[in-house]
């Protein structure tokens, strides 16, 4: 079979996902050829594909680029003539599926939103509009891949078609990155060392975490933060003495930072999945996560980490007051076992290929 993957901005978590999928599919015997099409702007270019199979279209996230992007995408589709078009993320989902109401479809459409827009922390009117758009576009979709059970169940509440929907958890590779001890981090062995990894935007909830550390006295805890040092509105992020900003770290080096920490903290306002949580588990680290989105599905409270109530941060304070290193180490071992059982890229990719075969047969 011939598969064409299409994304908008292929970066961050979407890039990690697409890389894992493409790497697997290019080494699968029943795959004739694998292609990736993505925006030339704001996409990561290091990919496990031959250069000729990476197709870039000129696009930035603005309505004036939409029609041009659609034309470029369908020109490539006509040239490649794929059996499967696997779409990644909301905007790419619109660019591919909306035109199919006006032209004949000769391929099977697989769509993964990588987090439903109607589940974002936004006003109800926007949620209704986003869900209506997704319901309409689902008419021209053969398979909807949900990255968690939470996403699947919520999509059914918003009336997306159950007969077209499956759950395939995100998965990551067991391979480790560069084994170089980080030079910009000095841990205090007598304290619990927590690590935050992620974008400094509203979704990831770093502002909540920094406010928590300013409000509560946590003499036994240090927090290390990987990411940019400003929010999206370019305002400087204030933080307390026991918070250490490490800047942005190359993805190839990130495993070594996970290994140094005692636990990883994920204070997200919403998460379709929670890739950082599984990256932590891969590195034998427990996860302290908010009770939002799919995080309680990934982290087993009291076994592989802890779940706290984002609306009542005293619950987080209670957790941090009562943890110790020996307990966290034991939880880290259990987290690793759960990762191996449920969240590897091998498990994810085998399920995806099975769904492709079902569609074609």
* Least confident interval from 96-105, 179-188, 204-213, 335-344: 179-188
User: pTM of the full predicted structure?
Assistant: 0.90
Please spell the DSSP secondary structure of 206-239, one letter per residue: HHHHHHHHHHS--TTEEEEEES-SB-TT--B---
Full strand arrangement of the beta sheet holding 305-308: 243-247, 221-226, 192-197, 263-266, 287-290, 305-308
- 198-213 as b/e: b if 16+ CB within 10 A: bebebbbbbbbbbebb
- List of domains in the chain: 2-172+344-360 (3.40.50.2000), 192-342 (3.40.50.2000)
pLDDT tens digits, residue range 194-242?
A: 999 998 888 999 999 999 999 998 989 999 999 875 444 445 567 788 8
CB within 8 A of 266, min separation 6: which ones? Answer: 196, 198, 274, 276, 277, 287, 288, 289, 290, 295
Local structure of 126: helix, strand or coil:
helix
The backbone torsions φ and ψ at residue 271, rounded to the nearest 5 degrees and listed phi first, read -150, 120
> Where residue 250 falls among pLDDT bands split at 50, 70, 90?
confident
Half-sphere exposure for 287 (CA within 13 Å, toward CB) = 31
pLDDT at residue 178 in the model: 62
pLDDT at residue 283 in the model: 97
pLDDT at residue 335 in the model: 98
The average pLDDT across 89-94 equals: 96
- Kindly state the DSSP code that residue 344 receives in the 8-state scheme: B
Interatomic CA distance for residues 137 and 117, integer angstroms: 14
Interatomic CA distance for residues 229 and 206, integer angstroms: 11
Instruction: Single out the residue of 64, 63, 65, 45 nearest to residue 55, CA to CA.
Output: 45
pLDDT at residue 98 in the model: 97
Half-sphere exposure for 80 (CA within 13 Å, toward CB) = 27
- Per the CB < 8 A criterion, the answer to whether 114 and 147 are in contact is yes
Interatomic CA distance for residues 266 and 307, integer angstroms: 10
The residue among 12 and 334 whose pLDDT is bigger is 334
DSSP element (H, E) containing 295: helix 295-298
The average pLDDT across 130-152 equals: 98
The average pLDDT across 284-292 equals: 98
Cα-based torsion angle of the residue sequence 272, 277, 281, 282 in order, rounded to the nearest 10 degrees:
80
pLDDT at residue 42 in the model: 84
Q: Which residues pair with 35 in a beta bridge?
A: 4
pLDDT tens digits, residue range 253-283?
A: 899 999 999 999 999 999 999 999 999 999 9
> Where residue 126 falls among pLDDT bands split at 50, 70, 90?
very high
* Least confident interval from 21-25, 33-37, 126-130, 236-240: 236-240
DSSP element (H, E) containing 63: helix 63-80
pLDDT at residue 252 in the model: 82
Local structure of 114: helix, strand or coil:
coil
278: tokens are 């599984």
pLDDT tens digits, residue range 31-89?
A: 999 999 999 888 888 888 899 999 999 988 999 999 999 999 999 999 999 999 999 99
* Least confident interval from 135-139, 175-179, 305-309: 175-179
285: tokens are 């680290």
pLDDT at residue 232 in the model: 47
pLDDT tens digits, residue range 292-307?
A: 999 999 999 999 999 9
């Amino acid at each position: 079979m011939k598969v064409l993957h299409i994304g908008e901005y292929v970066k961050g978590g979407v890039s990690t996902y697409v890389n894992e999928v493409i790497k697997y599919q290019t080494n699968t015997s029943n795959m004739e050829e694998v292609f990736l099409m993505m925006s030339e702007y704001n996409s990561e270019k290091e990919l496990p594909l031959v250069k000729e199979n990476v197709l870039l279209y000129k696009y930035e996230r603005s309505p004036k680029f939409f029609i041009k992007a659609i034309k470029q995408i369908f020109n490539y589709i006509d040239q490649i003539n794929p059996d499967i078009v696997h779409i990644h993320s909301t905007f790419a989902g619109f660019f591919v599926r909306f035109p199919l109401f006006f032209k004949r479809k000769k391929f099977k459409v697989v769509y993964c939103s990588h987090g439903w827009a109607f589940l974002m922390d936004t006003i109800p009117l926007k949620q209704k509009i986003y869900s209506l758009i997704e319901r309409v576009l689902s008419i021209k979709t053969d398979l909807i891949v949900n990255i968690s059970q939470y996403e699947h169940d919520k999509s059914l509440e918003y009336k997306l078609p159950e007969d077209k929907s499956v759950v395939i958890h995100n998965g990551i590779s067991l391979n480790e990155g560069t084994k170089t001890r980080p030079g910009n981090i000095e841990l205090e062995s007598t304290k619990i060392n927590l690590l935050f990894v992620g974008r400094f935007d509203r979704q990831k909830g770093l502002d909540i975490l920094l406010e928590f550390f300013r409000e509560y006295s946590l003499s036994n805890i240090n927090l290390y933060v990987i990411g940019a040092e400003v929010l999206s509105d370019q305002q400087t992020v204030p933080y307390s003495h026991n918070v250490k900003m490490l800047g942005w770290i190359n993805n190839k080096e990130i495993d070594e930072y996970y290994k140094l920490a005692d636990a990883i903290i994920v204070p997200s306002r919403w998460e379709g999945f929670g890739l950082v949580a599984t990256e932590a588990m891969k590195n034998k680290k427990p996860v302290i996560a908010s009770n939002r989105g799919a995080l309680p599905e990934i982290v087993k409270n009291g076994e592989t980490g802890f779940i706290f109530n984002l609306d009542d941060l005293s619950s987080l304070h209670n957790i941090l007051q009562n943890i110790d290193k020996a307990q966290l180490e034991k939880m880290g071992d259990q987290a690793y076992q759960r990762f191996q059982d449920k969240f590897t890229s091998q498990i994810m990719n085998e399920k995806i290929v099975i769904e492709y075969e079902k569609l074609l047969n």
